[in-house]
């Protein structure tokens, strides 16, 4: 049996300069990130904390002294992938017993004990609320018992330390900034409220400080992140105020956000989007299902009719808005007719992008506790395939309707397949390549959309 050490917040403060990392010659860290943008953003914050503590970073697990795996468990496949990576690490650990292996993210939060008990080579399990402790946990590992067995486990203590840690930016003109953490919605299929905890908004001044810091490093395009950005609240400021405050920073060219919730999205937000050029006309508004009965079972407290009203209002107030959604097929008890209602909703809305998933039963959720995962796998697959082919057709048609349009492209870098071309995106997030002609990265260029290859546009500069 391994010794479990539980840390509590008042144990002691982390040392500023971990001994093992003195002289900027510290252990090398490799972070593998799975899952959503929130995890990517968390990994960047962790890199920043560890970088400040003197750690160095490397590109592969082989050369690392510390390997951190940031896991996702939104669907079973994501969890299996992350745990599969862990199995690979066990052989590395055999070769290099001094290597420290840490599991982070949502699986770490929900399955701490199981991981520690069944993966003997794992040294620490740290959930999203405890990342601030990572430097301390690693420091103890390096100072007190390098290579020795013994496991560290963190508690569920909530600590928002993101507020004063600026994420390590990897270059490039786009960056993610988390504005609200956790979720209070408790959709019956979703594990996120269990792994990420209750909703907490970051103070606006801290968000603006982070965005300013990013723009000083060349960022022009900011994506504001949260499981439910529409319920952002700080002081007397709501999400529309927050979005506007970011857009008004002079060095920001574009601001985007995700994810929205049909119950919390406001008319004020849609008006703010329509009135400000820097706020991208793009809305990710998951519908999940087109049937009112299924929506009720999912604990999504809106109807199909209300959802369609919001879409109509968005199109009225934000001309040219691009729409995207998340949809689940095969939720327990979903009938063929109810699936058909999801299909017709997607035909009606005509999304630009849709993320479509088969229902996957997740531990700790209401659906898992109360409902049987009773839609057979082959039925789920058939429903998903029908939706995907519908959506591909709609997306193609919507893209073709853009040809000839004048728009702007934010240059993000060289096109991956052709060094004589720039790659960038339109304000409504369509990828574009265009011939290089003296522009620079981060510049907004007026462009006409001329042709399409797959889902990438070919643009010509307009003067």
Binding site for ligand 5AD (CB under 6 A): 74-75, 189-190, 286, 288, 326, 328, 357, 359-360, 362
Contact partner, 183, from ligand 5AD, ligand SF4, none, Cβ < 5-8 Å per class: ligand SF4
CA–CA distance, 237 with 284 (Å, rounded to integer): 22
Q: Which residue is nearest to ligand 5AD (CB)?
A: 326
The three-point CA angle 197-119-27 to 5° equals: 80
User: Closer CB to ligand 5AD, residue 74 or residue 411?
Assistant: 74
Neighbouring residues of 402: CB distance < 8 A, sequence distance ≥ 6 = 430, 449, 457
Write out the two tokens for 379: 């039925």
Q: How far is the CB of 186 from ligand SF4 (least distance, A)?
A: 6
Task: Give the whole-angstrom CA distance, residue 100 versus residue 122.
Answer: 8
CB of 77 to ligand 5AD, least distance (A): 9
What string marks each residue from 253 to 272 as x (binds ligand SF4 by CB under 6 A) or -?
Answer: --------x-----------
Name residue 446's beta-bridge partners: 408
186 binds, among ligand SF4, ligand 5AD, none (CB under 5 to 8 A by kind): ligand SF4
CB atoms within 10 A of CB 44: 20
Q: Does 183 bind ligand SF4 (CB under 6 A)?
A: yes
CB atoms within 10 A of CB 377: 10
- Say if CB 326 and CB 74 are below 8 A apart: no
**Considering the complex, what minimum distance in angstroms separates the CB of residue 188 from ligand SF4?**
9
What whole-number distance in Å separates Cα of residue 271 and Cα of residue 318? 7
Name the binder of 193 from ligand SF4, ligand 5AD, none, CB < 5-8 A by kind.
ligand SF4
Structure tokens at 267: 């008319």
The binder of 228, among ligand 5AD, ligand SF4, none, by C-beta within 5 to 8 A per type, is ligand SF4
Task: From the list ligand 5AD, ligand SF4, none, pick the one residue 109 interacts with, judged by a Cβ distance below 5 to 8 Å according to partner type.
Answer: none
The whole-angstrom separation of Cα 101 and Cα 99 is: 6
- Give the span between the Cα atoms of 33 and 123, in whole angstroms: 18
Site for ligand SF4 contains 201 (CB under 6 A)? no
Instruction: Determine, following the binding rule CB under 6 A, whether residue 187 of this chain makes contact with ligand SF4.
Output: yes
Taking CB under 6 A as the binding criterion, the range among 60-68, 127-135, 166-174, 181-189 that sits at the site for ligand SF4 is 181-189
As beta bridge partners, residue 392 has none
Residue 227 binds to ligand SF4 (criterion: CB under 6 A): yes
Residue-wise burial string across 176-209, b where 16 or more C-beta atoms lie within 10 A, e elsewhere: bbbbbbbbebebbbbbbbbbbbebbbbebebbbe
C-alpha–C-alpha distance, residues 318 and 350, integer Å: 16
**Exposure of 1 by Cβ count < 10 A (0-12 exposed, 13-18 middle, 19+ buried)?**
exposed
Q: How far is the CB of 228 from ligand SF4 (least distance, A)?
A: 5
Long-range contacts of 24-27 (CB under 8 A, 24+ apart): 24/54, 24/56, 25/54, 25/56, 26/53, 26/54, 26/55, 26/56, 27/55, 27/56, 27/65, 27/66, 27/100, 27/138, 27/142
Nearer to ligand SF4, 6 or 37 (CB): 37
74 binds, among ligand 5AD, ligand SF4, none (CB under 5 to 8 A by kind): ligand 5AD
Taking residue 305's Cβ as centre, other Cβ atoms within 10 Å add up to: 8
Work out which of 228, 272, 291, 408 binds ligand SF4, going by CB under 6 A: 228
Can residue 185 be called a binding residue for ligand SF4 (CB under 6 A)? yes
Least distance between ligand SF4 and beta carbon 304 (Å)? 17
Q: Which stretch binds ligand SF4 (CB under 6 A): 115-123, 152-160, 163-171, 188-196?
A: 188-196
Cβ-based nearer residue to ligand SF4, 21 or 183? 183
Which C-beta is closer to ligand SF4: that of 14 or that of 193?
193
Q: Does 39 contact ligand SF4 by CB under 6 A?
A: no
Q: How far is the CB of 240 from ligand 5AD (least distance, A)?
A: 22
Residues interacting with ligand SF4, by CB under 6 A? 183, 185-187, 190, 192-193, 227-228, 261
């Amino acid at each position: 049996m391994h010794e479990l050490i539980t840390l509590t917040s008042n144990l002691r403060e982390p040392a500023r300069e971990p001994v093992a990392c003195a002289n900027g010659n510290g252990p090398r860290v490799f972070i593998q990130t799975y899952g959503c943008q929130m995890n990517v953003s968390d990994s960047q914050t962790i890199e920043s904390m560890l970088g400040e503590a003197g750690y160095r970073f490397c590109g592969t697990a082989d050369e690392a002294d510390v390997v951190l795996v940031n896991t996702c468990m939104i669907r079973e496949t994501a969890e299996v992938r992350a745990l599969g990576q862990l199995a690979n690490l066990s052989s590395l650990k055999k070769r290099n017993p001094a290597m420290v292996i840490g599991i982070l993210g949502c699986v770490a939060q929900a399955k701490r004990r199981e991981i520690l008990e069944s993966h003997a080579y794992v040294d620490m399990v740290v959930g999203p609320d405890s990342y601030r402790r990572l430097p301390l946990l690693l420091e103890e590992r390096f100072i007190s018992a390098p290579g020795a067995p013994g496991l560290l486990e963190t508690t569920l203590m909530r600590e928002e330390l993101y507020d004063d840690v600026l994420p390590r930016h990897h270059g490039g003109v786009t960056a993610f900034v988390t504005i609200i953490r956790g979720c209070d919605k408790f959709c019956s299929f979703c594990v996120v409220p269990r792994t990420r905890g209750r909703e907490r908004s970051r103070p606006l001044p801290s968000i603006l400080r982070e965005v300013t810091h990013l723009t000083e490093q060349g960022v022009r395009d900011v994506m504001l992140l949260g499981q439910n950005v529409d319920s952002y609240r700080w002081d007397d400021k709501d999400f529309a105020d927050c979005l506007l405050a970011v857009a008004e920073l002079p060095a920001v060219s574009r601001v985007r956000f995700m994810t929205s919730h049909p119950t919390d999205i406001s008319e004020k937000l849609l008006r703010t989007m329509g009135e400000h050029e820097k706020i991208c006309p793009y809305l990710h508004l998951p519908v999940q299902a087109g049937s009112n009965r299924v929506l009720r079972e999912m604990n999504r407290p809106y109807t199909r009719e209300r959802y369609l009203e919001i879409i109509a209002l968005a199109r009225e107030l934000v001309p040219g808005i691009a729409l995207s959604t998340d949809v689940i097929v095969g939720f327990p008890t979903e009938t063929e007719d109810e699936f058909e209602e999801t299909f017709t909703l997607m035909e009606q809305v005509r999304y630009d992008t849709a993320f479509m998933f088969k229902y996957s039963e997740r531990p700790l959720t209401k659906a898992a506790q109360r409902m049987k995962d009773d839609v057979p796998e082959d039925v789920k697959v058939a429903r998903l395939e029908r939706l995907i082919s519908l959506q591909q057709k709609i997306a193609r048609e919507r893209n073709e309707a853009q040809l000839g349009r004048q728009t702007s492209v934010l240059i993000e870098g060289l096109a991956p397949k052709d060094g004589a071309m720039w790659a960038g995106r339109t304000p409504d997030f369509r990828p574009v390549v265009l011939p290089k002609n003296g522009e620079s990265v981060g510049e907004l260029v007026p462009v006409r959309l001329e042709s399409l290859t797959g889902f990438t546009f070919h643009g010509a500069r307009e003067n």
